[in-house]
Amino acid sequence: MNVRFQNVTKSFGESKVVDHLDLGVLEGEFVVLLGPSGCGKTTTLRMLAGLEDTTSGDIFIGEERVNDIPTRYRDVAMVFQSYALYPHMTVADNIAYPLVVRKTPVAQIASRVGRAAEMLEIGELLKRKPRELSGGERQRVALARAIVREPRVYLMDEPLSNLDAKLRVQMRGELKRLQHDLGTTTIYVTHDQAEAMTLAHRVAVMRAGKLQQFDTPMNIYNRPANRFVAEFVGSPSMNFLDTTIHETQMLLEASGQSIVLPRSYSAALSRQQRVTLGIRPEYIHVSSETVAGWHTAEVYVTELMGNETFVFLRLGAEKIIARAPAEFRAEMESRVWIKLDVEKALFFDPITGEAIRE
Amino acid sequence: MMRDLRLINTISSLVIVYTALNLPFVVWMMRGFFKELPRELEEAAMVDGDSRLGALVRVILPLVTPGLAATAVFCLIVSWNEFLLALVLTQTDAAMTLPVGIAGRVTQYEIKWGVMSAAGVVAMVPILVFALAVQRYLVRGLSLGAVKG
């Protein structure tokens, strides 16, 4: 079922937690709400579930306006960050609960619980209590409880954040597969950009209650709408350098070095006096030997990740990060040569932070 | 007032008075037990399709049974031992509570120590039995496993 937020605002006292949100989610789509803590993403989800009232605006599930419909009649299923399993019930009773309260015939309940448990491979745990389960198993039970009936929308509030790193990556893949197989509209809240990039059909990036950008992961990464989105998505983070434009050249204010403007942007940028250059670490090339025409920088520290090395550099007054091959070695404070691949760079208005398009 | 309602010398009068006496403490004590439960449990129940009342009965109440049991034991002891109001409100053997009855063995001519001691021991028994009966509900940690951590 499609879901639509129309001009939705939520205030707690003076502060606007969600500020005039317009968001349309298509049937069968996997949408991730991404943002730092306190950006209003969880509140948005809770408003859709009916656990939180809207201050103004309308929420639609399908063609039905659900603002005044109590949670239990909205026909959504939610997976909580804390799982919220019923501790006094067995796993089977936990999964069966949504069916029991809907007065589903007993014979049907058993078979549907069995099927849900089978999908999540927790068949042998059905007789246990939640406290006898590991974190990953509890997670699966919470998911099974959500999929045991066929709700109109799945809501997930940081379901993976309590798992360890390895399990998180594994569950991430399984979630994606599960959503694909079920084909049910899913709205997923996270602050983890890796989860957003890997899971979503479209990502909605939020900040301080305002929607920043709603687009495919590819476009969020490659064509961020503003500096906030560019900085939030990608790891390590994008580098930002303030520059002054002189005709076809741009002068890096941090180091006094100048770079030729990329051709595609020259028209758009020549109208500006100052711009912020944004460049991802993978587009900064580093060499420990002299290369003619490259800039010099000092190594602050290097971090070997195994398959690659993150090089933290001082470029004049600024600190930047570059990704280098795993073999790259450099002493702290040693001089290296770098090249910014400006054809891959993005440009932002230094005051508003909005992206400047070519 | 109890006389106006013709409740003097009835057990009902004591029931009413003790309810009023214990209620504030019960509310305060139970509030603590309810507050200890994560809010998500109730929310999960409602998202799963249950009403607020259903969530209370099916999810929340089973989880506060240790609290209910502890509170019940407490109230029982308070009511069982209460002396002053029982003395004022009950005079006949039909309605008299044990503490009043035992105190009644102190007569003008003698103090019946033997009877009083025996009654005191017997009076202990029902509380002991009740406390033992609810002991299994008193175990802590029943709510473990609901949420992480």
How many angstroms separate the Cα of B50 from the Cα of each of A51, A104, A148? 13, 13, 15
| A187 contact B CB<8A | no
Cα–Cα distance measured from residue A94 to residue B83, given in angstroms and rounded to the nearest whole number: 48
Residue B138 pLDDT more than 80? no
Cα–Cα distance measured from residue A187 to residue A33, given in angstroms and rounded to the nearest whole number: 7
Q: Which of A241, A212, A276 is nearest to A36 (CA)?
A: A212
ipTM of the prediction: 0.82
Cα–Cα distance measured from residue B105 to residue B87, given in angstroms and rounded to the nearest whole number: 13
Identity of the residue in B62, B142, B146 whose CB atom sits nearest the CB atom of A85: B146
Residue B148 pLDDT more than 80? no
Quote the pTM value.
0.84
How is residue A256 written in tokens? 């006094």
Q: Which of B24, B21, B12, B3 is nearest to B81 (CA)?
A: B21
Beta bridge partners of A203: A32, A215
Cα–Cα distance measured from residue A303 to residue A294, given in angstroms and rounded to the nearest whole number: 22
Report the amino acid identity of residue B47: V
Identity of the residue in A50, A51, A84 whose CB atom sits nearest the CB atom of B147: A84
Report the amino acid identity of residue B101: G
Q: Which of A163, A99, A91 is nearest to A127 (CA)?
A: A91
**Phi, psi for residue A100 in degrees, rounded to 5:** -60, -45
Confidence (pLDDT) at B107: 81
Cα–Cα distance measured from residue A252 to residue A261, given in angstroms and rounded to the nearest whole number: 12
Residues of chain A with pLDDT > 90: what percent?
Answer: 71
User: Cβ separation of B47 and A72 shorter than 8 Å?
Assistant: yes
How is residue B116 written in tokens? 């009083």
Residue B147 pLDDT more than 70? no
**Does a cis peptide bond (omega within 30 degrees of 0) precede residue B62?**
no
Cα Dmax for chain A: 78
**Residue ranges for chain A with pLDDT beneath 70:** none
Cα–Cα distance measured from residue A46 to residue A25, given in angstroms and rounded to the nearest whole number: 16
Alpha-helix residue ranges (DSSP H) falling in chain A = 41-49, 91-100, 106-119, 135-147, 165-182, 193-199, 217-222, 227-232, 263-270
| A156 contact B CB<8A | no
Chain B positions touching A129 (Cβ under 8 A) are 145
Q: Which of A38, A136, A123, A154 is nearest to A83 (CA)?
A: A136
Identity of the residue in A50, A75, A82 whose CB atom sits nearest the CB atom of B147: A82
CA-based nearest residue in chain B for residue A136: B148
Rg from Cα positions in chain B: 21
| A153 contact B CB<8A | no
Asked if A235 and A323 touch (Cβ cutoff 8 Å), the reply is no
Residue B128 pLDDT more than 70? yes
Q: How confident is the model at residue B144 (pLDDT cuts 50, 70, 90)?
A: very low
Report the amino acid identity of residue B39: R
Identity of the residue in B40, B59, B142 whose CB atom sits nearest the CB atom of A80: B40
Distance from the B30 Cα atom to the nearest Cα atom in chain A, whole angstroms: 19
Chain A positions touching B43 (Cβ under 8 A) are 49, 51, 71, 78, 80, 84
3-state class (DSSP) for residue A276: strand
Q: Which residue has the higher pLDDT, B87 or A129?
A: A129
Edge-to-edge strand order for the sheet containing A185-190? A76-79, A153-157, A185-190, A30-34, A202-207, A210-215
Q: Which of A13, A79, A4, A14 is nearest to A44 (CA)?
A: A4
Asked if B101 and B119 touch (Cβ cutoff 8 Å), the reply is yes
Confidence (pLDDT) at B71: 87
Chain B positions touching A130 (Cβ under 8 A) are 145-146
CA-based nearest residue in chain B for residue A159: B148
**Phi, psi for residue A178 in degrees, rounded to 5:** -60, -45
Beta bridge partners of A356: A347
CB atoms within 10 A of CB A27: 12
Residue B141 pLDDT more than 50? no
User: Cβ separation of B145 and A135 shorter than 8 Å?
Assistant: no
Cα–Cα distance measured from residue A109 to residue A98, given in angstroms and rounded to the nearest whole number: 10
Asked if B90 and B14 touch (Cβ cutoff 8 Å), the reply is yes
